[in-house]
Amino acid sequence: MGGQTKPLTGWKPFDIPLSVKSENNHSGEMDVTVCIAAMCDENIIFAVSDQMLTAGDIQFQPQHMKAIDVTTSILALIAGDAGFQAELFNDLSAKVNFAVRQPDAPWLKVQEVAEAYVACHNAARNKRIEARLLSPLGLTYETFLSQQRNLAPELVSQVAQEMVAFDVPFCSTIFCGVDETGAHIFTVNGGKLSCEDNVGFSAIGSGGRHAESLLMTAEHSRSEPLADTLFRIFSAKKRAEVAPGVGDRTNLFMVGPALGSLVPVRTDVLDSLERLFKKQMQSERKALEKIHVEVREYIDEINRQAQEQHAQQAAAAKPPATD
């Protein structure tokens, strides 16, 4: 269907800044960013990210966004090594373009795109393994597998262990959007794919846990009202700004319920959400100050009662006066 291919004609995978990397993260390390996606009850997904990038000990917020419109129905939110992500999305864009340009091509499923990304990740890892471990031995993947019986067992065991333990730059990606089966969210962390449809949200990056904490505390689910979800995901991003490397600039997107409905949220809406968030923070500070006063009064009362009890016990323990 032509509708899902429209953004790809002008989409440039190299919009991911190739010269900037998140400190060449490897498996298990946290990316200095925050990206969040959340569903609501109308088969709609909101997705939000910051713009902060890290290069060595320098952090800045360029105009490059961490959101990539894979199709008009599917959005990718990226974190991790920017150069490696660019390589993966170059390969993914070729797969997507080939798929949607087939005659009578159906709308791509969110899961299909996420699985294609994982395949690109695995292929990139295998290419590096072949160049780093096998090529110096005059081998390829095919020859290593076919000639194992002719190689020394110790060499085969050592190479196999190094292949299993081989690390590539760590990347996290959220794929969210709608297809003919509804709204979906998938997360890929270090090449491992998970479906977040039952949870109803996903967050990645150094601010991810802050965002997840807010969404879990709010007991967010995919059946939440649209307005609640919109403000909640914006609040989750703003509160995640306390995490290292999370920028204060915000990009917000909406997709669903119709196919081909991916759009950025307007600037005036972001400004209104910012104003409401600040109002909420002021209310929370005032409420917290009131609670602190009440707690201090409570503690003072406990201390007063303890002093009275101590005085009474001291008076009771004092021996009676004698004539």
DSSP string, 227-254: HHHHHHHHHHHHHGGGSTT--S--EEEE
Provide the token pair at 275.
Answer: 């104003």
CA distance 220 to 201: 8
Residues 172 and 187 in one domain: yes
Share of the chain above pLDDT 70, in %: 85
Q: What is the DSSP secondary structure assignment for residue 30, as one 8-state letter?
A: P
pLDDT single digits (tens) 296-322: 999 999 999 999 888 888 887 777 766
- Per the structure, the complete domain to which residue 31 belongs is given by 2-265
Residues 251 and 232 in one domain: yes
Residues 168 and 229 in one domain: yes
- Considering the entire predicted model, what is its pTM? 0.83
50 close to 247: Cβ distance less than 8 angstroms: yes
Number of domains, the chain: 2
Which is higher by pLDDT, 60 or 51? Answer: 51
Residues 183 and 294 in one domain: no
Residues 65 and 179 in one domain: yes
Residues 304 and 159 in one domain: no
201 close to 220: Cβ distance less than 8 angstroms: yes
User: Is 321 part of any domain?
Assistant: no
pLDDT single digits (tens) 147-203: 888 889 999 999 999 999 999 999 999 999 999 999 999 999 999 999 999 999 999
Residues 86 and 171 in one domain: yes
pLDDT attached to residue 22? 40
136: CB partners within 8 A, 6+ apart:
none
For residue 90, give the H/E element and its range. Answer: helix 82-100
Residues 213 and 130 in one domain: yes
35-48 exposure pattern, b = at least 16 Cβ within 10 A, e = fewer: bbbbbbeeebbbbb
Residues 10 and 55 in one domain: yes
Residue 231 amino acid letter: F
Provide the token pair at 237.
Answer: 């991003």
Indicate whether 59 pLDDT > 80.
Answer: no
Tokens 């959340």 map to which residue? Answer: 38
Residues 193 and 299 in one domain: no
pLDDT single digits (tens) 224-234: 999 999 999 99
User: Is 323 part of any domain?
Assistant: no
Look over the chain and give the mean of its residue pLDDT values, rounded to a whole number: 87
Residues 162 and 301 in one domain: no
Residues 112 and 37 in one domain: yes
pLDDT attached to residue 99? 92
CA distance 191 to 83: 16
Query: pLDDT-derived band of residue 28, with 50, 70 and 90 as boundaries?
Result: very low
User: Is 153 part of any domain?
Assistant: yes
Indicate whether 63 pLDDT > 90.
Answer: no
136-150 mean pLDDT: 90
pLDDT single digits (tens) 82-109: 889 999 999 999 999 999 998 888 999 9
